[in-house]
Amino acid sequence: MKTELKVLFLGDMVGRIGRKTVEKFLNKNKTNYDFVIANVENASHGFGLTKKNHDELASYGINCMTSGNHIWDKKDIFEYIDSSEYLIRPLNYDKSVRGVGYRIFNDKFLVINLLGKTFMPHVECPFKALQALSEEISFEDKITIIDFHAEATAEKECMGYFAQSLGAKAVFGTHTHVQTADEKILNNSCAYITDAGYTGGTGGVIGMDYEISLKRILTSIPERFDVVDSKESVLCGVEVVFDNETNNPTSITRVFEKYKDEGNED
């Protein structure tokens, strides 16, 4: 039995350029990891995830796909979310919502998705939802990993310590698309970063076209965002090594790589 398990978590994947950047990275590095998780809520032209792109990402070797507030943007999600073996949506949506908020993989990894409250759609409290789940499933018995898709840094940090107190082994923030420099291990038992960053085109605004983003800010008039048209991209995430016996993390390291000659078409 391995003494250590290495997990890769990739931040919000944006459009085709993001998907192809992930493919390029995993083609070279997949064998270095025991488990790969990626946030995919922006993977299909910046909004949601189509069935076609879901299957494409699974073929790259991604073991678990997390999401967030944009998971419902592509309507065919309702046709396949219940049958997907990889995809999870935020746990704290109403219980009547399709899909699941957590999955257990290989009887070892428990992955949970949560949506924040600040500047987000109205959902149930993520803290109460996590507390309730911890009373059903022992977080200590697995390598319990949480993707907390949230806007406010204070809310994310609070979730880190709260989840650690319940036995979670990792909390990775997503949603802001800007990789933070605060990776750490909380109380020697929970790997944490406020935001893992994004994977997608550079030269725009968090992976989207600059001109459209600026126009929305100047006019306050809604206009559909578009993925930045770029030949350069970035891949952001974290690598975490876990002790296979105690399930505790022993290290967390930021991943940041640049690539060229991609495209943003779907």
- Return the H-helix or E-strand segment holding 154: helix 153-166
Neighbours of 195 (CB within 10 A): 24
CA–CA distances in Å: residue 84 to residues 66, 79, 118: 12, 10, 29
- In the chain, the percentage of residues whose pLDDT exceeds 70 is 98
Flag whether pLDDT at 110 surpasses 70: yes
Q: Collapsing DSSP states into helix, strand and coil, what is residue 215? A: helix
CA–CA distances in Å: residue 30 to residues 22, 180, 235: 10, 24, 14
pLDDT band of residue 100 (cuts 50, 70, 90) is very high
Flag whether pLDDT at 146 surpasses 60: yes
Task: Choose the catalytic residue: 70, 149, 175, 177.
Answer: 70
pLDDT band of residue 128 (cuts 50, 70, 90) is very high
- Catalytic residue list contains 70: yes
CA–CA distances in Å: residue 24 to residues 21, 159, 262: 5, 32, 10
CA–CA distances in Å: residue 51 to residues 21, 55, 76: 19, 6, 7
Question: Which residues in 68-177 belong to E strands, given as ranges?
Answer: 102-105, 109-115, 143-149, 170-174
Is the CATH number 3.60.21.10 carried by domain 4-259?
yes
Q: Do the beta carbons of residue 227 and residue 16 sit within 8 Å? A: yes
Compute the mean pLDDT over every residue in the chain, rounded to the nearest whole number: 95
> Across-strand partners of 252?
240
Q: Could you read off the pLDDT of 43-93 as tens digits, one per residue?
A: 999 999 999 999 999 999 999 999 999 999 999 999 999 999 999 999 999
Flag whether pLDDT at 198 surpasses 70: yes
How far is the C-alpha of 260 from the C-alpha of 258, rounded, in Å? 7
Q: Could you read off the pLDDT of 211-265 as tens digits, one per residue?
A: 989 998 899 888 788 899 999 999 999 999 999 999 999 999 999 999 987 445 5
How far is the C-alpha of 40 from the C-alpha of 79, rounded, in Å? 17
Q: What is the DSSP letter of 38?
A: E
Mean pLDDT of 183-209: 95
Query: What residues does each domain of the chain span?
Result: 4-259
Highest mean pLDDT among 8-12, 207-211, 227-231: 8-12
Flag whether pLDDT at 266 surpasses 80: no
- What pLDDT sits at residue 224? 81
Token pair recorded at residue 179: 């990789």
Looking at 121-125, 142-146, 176-180, 213-217, which range is the least confident one? 213-217
